[in-house]
Amino acid sequence: MNSSKRARALALSCLPLTAAMLPAYASAQSSVTLYGIVDNAFAYSSNQHGSSNFYLSQGNLQASKFGLLGSENIGGSTKTIFRLESGFNSLTGAQSSAGVIFNRQAYVGLSNDRYGTVTLGRQYTPYLQIVGALGPTGVLTGATGAHPGDLDALDTTLRLNNSVSYLSPTLAGLQFSMQYGLGGVPGSIANGSQFSAAARYDYQSFAVAVGYVKLKDLATSGALASFADNSPVNSGYATARSSQLFAAAARYTSQDLMIGINYSNVQYTPGSGSLFASEAVFNTYGVISTYRITPAITVAAGYSYTSASKANGMSDPARYHQISLEQTYNLSKRTTFYTLEAYQLARGQTLIATGSTATSITDAVAVVGDSQNGTPSSGPSQFVGMVGVRHTF
């Protein structure tokens, strides 16, 4: 038999073995899902730096984004997983963070039904994922429902680079998670490092969650990917040596009605290079509620009160009252029409950054939710209204 005939005979003899292997090979293939959101709206603000404004706004009900979520079963109940997620401006097409394509999330890890999930990369904190899910922005969009300036980071603004996270399986209604962000400073493990932990417990119609974050070297840490310290609420503390955030939230759901409460405590501690002298503390108390009128129509409302401590030369520390409303109508499974309204009233004094090397005490100004950090009111009040469409894919 010549070489050509021997090759054909060998190939034919291998066909049964190849056919037997195909199902096993196919079952081990990766599953990859492309997903995303496009969200645009007409918006109105009663006061942006002293003038009213009618404009287009994006990422209001939910941030505009696209991502890839993948997994592969590697045996038993263990899977390898990954996520690459990028935020973008759906009005201009620009990246949310210049030069960082996967600015929202970029991680890889292992997941096991019995032992939990370990992931490494750029990730949201357990504080945000667990407590934030029960907090105000889990019901009221962060654009108008986040606490003033999102100073407690319960909206989607707190991520850690170079982080290792663990998420437990749910045991008798209890689930917890921990995360450590490596500072990457030679000779010092602690320098620039970050830590977060959170837990949630569900029992019948009740759910409660608590979370904690310890942030170090806010201005210089390579592990701190993003943190909201650019609003007139807290910009004066952006040079803090460290910040601690604690939050708790609880909900009760009965058929179409949900009622929830939430609380957060934010502390800024100065260091040798800080532009403020004394520890600053903000406490926020909030209530939220939703009601599903029909399977397609849902309404939501929330109120929050934020107060600052008497520190850094302020005799009348800042206070913020905010009311937020939301109405959604699901045109289909993927398309939602929405309207948002929010009003905030500010009182007292706050510390703001007046440049990269200076701060000053000034009258507190209103800054609704997380959508007006760069365009706050010039006075104590601000109203924001939006009408928009969100499409998911």
Q: What are the backbone dihedrals phi and psi of residue 89, each rounded to the nearest 5 degrees, phi first? A: -90, 110
Token look-up 């007006």 returns: 372
**CB-hemisphere CA count at 13 Å for 232?**
28
pTM over 0.85: yes
pLDDT at residue 29 in the model: 65
User: Can you list the domains of the chain with their CATH numbers?
Assistant: 33-392 (2.40.160.10)
Q: Could you tell me if 381 and 366 are in contact, meaning their C-beta atoms sit under 8 angstroms apart? A: yes
DSSP reduced 3-state for 58: strand
pLDDT at residue 26 in the model: 41
Q: What are the backbone dihedrals phi and psi of residue 210, each rounded to the nearest 5 degrees, phi first? A: -135, 150
Residue 239 makes CB contacts below 8 A (sequence gap 6+) with 218, 219, 270, 271, 273, 274, 275, 276
Angle CA 52–53–54, to nearest 5: 140
| Residue 260: Cβ-neighbour burial (10 angstroms; 0-12, 13-18, 19+) | buried
pLDDT at residue 5 in the model: 47
Q: What are the backbone dihedrals phi and psi of residue 183, each rounded to the nearest 5 degrees, phi first? A: -70, -30
State the Cα–Cα distance between residues 113 and 129, nearest whole angstrom: 19
Q: Could you tell me if 91 and 74 are in contact, meaning their C-beta atoms sit under 8 angstroms apart? A: no
State the Cα–Cα distance between residues 206 and 173, nearest whole angstrom: 10
Q: Comparing C-alpha atoms, which of 96, 134, 117 is closest to residue 261?
A: 134
- C-alpha distances (whole Å) from 270 to each of 55, 261, 267, 330 are 38, 31, 10, 47
Length of the chain: 393
pLDDT at residue 309 in the model: 92
| Residue 237: Cβ-neighbour burial (10 angstroms; 0-12, 13-18, 19+) | buried
Residue 173 makes CB contacts below 8 A (sequence gap 6+) with 201, 202, 203
**CB-hemisphere CA count at 13 Å for 338?**
29
pLDDT at residue 345 in the model: 98
pLDDT tens sequence for the chain (393 residues): 444 444 444 343 443 433 333 343 444 568 999 999 999 999 999 999 999 999 999 999 999 999 999 999 998 899 999 999 999 999 999 998 888 999 999 999 999 999 999 999 999 999 999 999 999 998 898 899 999 999 999 997 789 999 999 999 999 999 999 999 998 888 777 788 999 999 999 999 999 999 999 999 888 888 888 887 889 999 999 999 999 999 999 999 999 999 999 999 999 999 988 999 999 999 999 999 999 999 999 999 999 999 999 999 999 999 999 999 999 999 999 999 999 999 999 999 999 988 778 899 999 999 999 989 999 999 999 999 999 999 999
Angle CA 236–240–241, to nearest 5: 170
Q: Comparing C-alpha atoms, which of 167, 154, 161 is closest to residue 127?
A: 154
pLDDT at residue 185 in the model: 81
State the Cα–Cα distance between residues 322 and 343, nearest whole angstrom: 6
Q: List the structure tokens of 350.
A: 């706050």
Element housing 16 (H / E): helix 3-27
Residue 350 makes CB contacts below 8 A (sequence gap 6+) with 232, 233, 236, 308, 314, 317, 318, 361, 362, 363, 364
pLDDT at residue 28 in the model: 56
Question: What is the 3 state secondary structure string of 315-365?
Answer: CCECEEEEEEEEEEEECCCCEEEEEEEEEEEEECEEEEEEECCEEEEEECC
pLDDT at residue 198 in the model: 98
Token look-up 């520890």 returns: 279
Q: Could you tell me if 238 and 353 are in contact, meaning their C-beta atoms sit under 8 angstroms apart? A: yes
State the Cα–Cα distance between residues 152 and 138, nearest whole angstrom: 14
pLDDT at residue 381 in the model: 98
Instruction: Tell whether the torsion through CA atoms of 284, 275, 270 and 192 is positive or negative.
Output: positive
Q: Comparing C-alpha atoms, which of 190, 124, 195 is closest to residue 153?
A: 124
Q: List the structure tokens of 33.
A: 């899902």
